Amino acid sequence: MYRGRFAPSPTGLAHLGTARTALAAWLRARREGGAFVMRIEDLDAPRVVPGAAEAMLEDLGWLGLDWDEGPDVGGPFGPYEQSARQARYEAALALLQERGQVYPCTCSRKEIASVATAPHGEEPVYPGTCRGGPRHPERAPSWRFRLDGLPAVEDAVFGRLEDGARGDFVLARADGVVSYQLAVVVDDLAMGITEVVRGQDLLASAPRQRALAEALVRAGWPGAPPGFLHVPLVLDAAGERLGKRHGSLSLRALRQAGTAPETLVAALGRSLGLPVPEEALPARALVARFEPERLGREPTRWSVRG
Residues labelled as active-site residues: 244
Cβ atoms of 80 and 70 closer than 8 Å:
yes
CA 39/CA 79 separation, integer angstroms: 9
CB neighbour burial string for 50-67, b if at least 16 within 10 angstroms, e if fewer: eebbebbbebbeebbbeb
Comparing C-alpha atoms, which of 187, 234, 4, 214 is closest to residue 96?
Answer: 214
Q: Which residues pair with 6 in a beta bridge?
A: 38
Q: DSSP characters for 66-94?
A: --SBBTTTB-TT---BGGG-HHHHHHHHH
| Omega within 30 of 0 (cis) for the link into 79 | yes
CA 241/CA 233 separation, integer angstroms: 7
